Structure 1
Amino acid sequence: MAVLASELGWPSYRVSPVERWHGDKHANQDDCIAEEAPIALMYNGEPHAVMLATPLDLEDFALGFSLTEAIVASPGEVESIKVYQRAEGIEVRLRIPEARCAGAAEKGRNLAGRTGCGLCGARTLQQAMRRPGPVGQGVQVSAPELIRVLAGLSEHQRLNRITGAVHAAAWAVPGQGIQWVREDIGRHNALDKLIGALARQGVDFGGGFVVVTSRASYEMVQKCASVGIGFLAAISAPTGLAVRLAEDAGVTLVGFARGDKHVVYANPQRLLHSKA
């Protein structure tokens, strides 16, 4: 079961008094403000990375991060995940095989990661630009189904409805709609949380698709491809590097997915349109 920030004493949002202005009129009101906290990820007692993230669904986050950063090859290699509150932040301790722990140490990612950064801490170009192998056949998604998922996503964004400040990553299955959603102040953290949640439930990564409320930057495609997700749709634009990685890895990459409009940037064969 994912650890909730409220159980740790670190809330996912706080209520603070604000002055709200509209032209020359104002009101004193309470506002809900999203929290972020330093999350220290430790493997077999050794520090690996400190990421700023929303203190919510931290077991999902730790497992997803471990998979998408290729620290472990499968969820079964994570023997345990324990979450501890510290005075300065939150510590997540994972137990993995010693051979994997040695590999994690060689990656050299023992630096701080900001919420907006997906490659913080990588010490070499090879580490930062890790290229996963090609994904499998994956699913085919009809354009109407993608539109329905996009239209229904907001009702699953509980924390964003309260704060207006967090991203979401959603998992949808053709014919079944949205199955899982995870939220975080950082787009890549939300995706790691989603991937971790799916892995913990034993979900087939080739059996659905991901929609994110952010741009499709390189590391978002990288994370999807790392676990075999073959379809990623984003409400904002992709980067050139993301498009090139999607082409190489066989990932269907859709950007500017808003309402009934979208742009397919790579591997269009999985998105089905009715042609007039």
Structure 2
Amino acid sequence: MNNILSEEVLNVTNFTTSRQLTLWKREDLQHPQLDDVAEEVPVALVYNGISHVVMMASPKDLTHFAMGFSLSEGIIDSPRDVFGMDIVPSCNGLEVQIELSSRRFMGLKERRRALAGRTGCGVCGVEQLNDIGKPVQPLPFTQTFNLANLDRALKHLNDFQPTGKLTGCTHAAAWVTSFGDLAGGHEDVGRHVALDKLLGRRAVEGECWHQGAVLVSSRASYEMVQKSAMCGVEILFAVSAATTLAVDVAERCNLTLVGFCKPGRATVYTHP
């Protein structure tokens, strides 16, 4: 298998994140126009030859997505558990073929179930209500954030949504340093997938991504909180609101959850 994040792997397909389609707009129904529409493709994550989950996603940064999903779902403990990845086009979408250590693959086989996701859906495919919500160890209280520094990050969040600027159809997830700078970010048609891409990149790039917080352009659902906590993120900022279950999960795992993040305002739902 190829090196996990090699350019050869990242560029193995000719998929684009948007394409132009002929549309009719209300203000001029007589004349068709070309407009950009975001691509959404099925992406299968295949572990040691066994397909585990299919998610709808933007066909970009898929190795980061696979790494982040594997971490946030508890399939692996660290990037060292992944020996390699390949991205392979299939007749209906893309496969990310992931080679796991034998120890982690045995653990996956014990808990594997068939999942079929809608756009980044984090609950689809669970077998019963008790399967919703994985136990997460309480996070240590090691980080604080001055909300005065958040405005700078909000101002530049769109910089990580080039497809979103064209199509109006993507979510973003970015890493905010304690000074309010954005160290990096990812976009996707699925908000959970955008977050997984960010978490995967953070895990691989290491030290410079440990101090700070996650900022997402979407609401904060319980899956967003749980994924962040599973990857050791202590602070989650969301542009929109949080759900009650997200607040409950954040309280249980000591995660600081802040919603309605706009210039000059924010709502703190939980803090240690």
Shared fold by TM > 0.5? yes
The offset of 1:10, in angstroms, is 2.1
- How far does the alpha carbon of each residue in 1:110-139 deviate from its partner, in whole angstroms, 9 at most, with x for none? 221111511222224443210211112242
Is 1:10 the counterpart of 2:15? The answer is yes
Residue matched to 2:206: 202
Structure 1 residues 106 and 126, CA gap change in structure 2 (3 angstroms):
farther
Residue matched to 2:143: 139
- How far does the alpha carbon of each residue in 1:51-90 deviate from its partner, in whole angstroms, 9 at most, with x for none? 1111110000000000000000111111111110111110
The offset of 1:152, in angstroms, is 1.6
Q: Equivalent residues in 2 for 1:1-276 (5 A)?
A: 1=5, 7-22=12-27, 27-175=31-179, 177-203=181-207, 206-267=210-271
Distance (whole Å) between structure 2 residues aligned to residue 61 and residue 219 of structure 1? 15
Percent identity between the two aligned chains: 40
Contact 2:12/2:87, CA 8 A, preserved across alignment: no
Contact 2:44/2:53, CA 8 A, preserved across alignment: yes
Matched residue type, 1:257: C
Distance (whole Å) between structure 1 residues aligned to residue 10 and residue 16 of structure 2? 5
Distance (whole Å) between structure 2 residues aligned to residue 190 and residue 77 of structure 1? 22
Distance (whole Å) between structure 2 residues aligned to residue 167 and residue 34 of structure 1? 11
Contact 2:55/2:121, CA 8 A, preserved across alignment: no
The offset of 1:140, in angstroms, is 1.7
Q: C-alpha root-mean-square deviation of aligned residues, in Å?
A: 1.9
Q: Secondary structure at the match of 2:26?
A: strand
Contact 1:14/1:34, CA 8 A, preserved across alignment: yes
How many residues are matched? 267
Q: Secondary structure at the match of 2:173?
A: strand
Distance (whole Å) between structure 2 residues aligned to residue 201 and residue 37 of structure 1? 27
The offset of 1:5, in angstroms, is 7.7
- How far does the alpha carbon of each residue in 1:211-254 deviate from its partner, in whole angstroms, 9 at most, with x for none? 10111000000000001100001111111110011011111000
The offset of 1:2, in angstroms, is 6.7
TM-score normalised per structure 1: 0.90
| Runs of 5+ consecutive residues of structure 1 not aligned to the other structure | 270-276
Matched residue type, 2:125: G
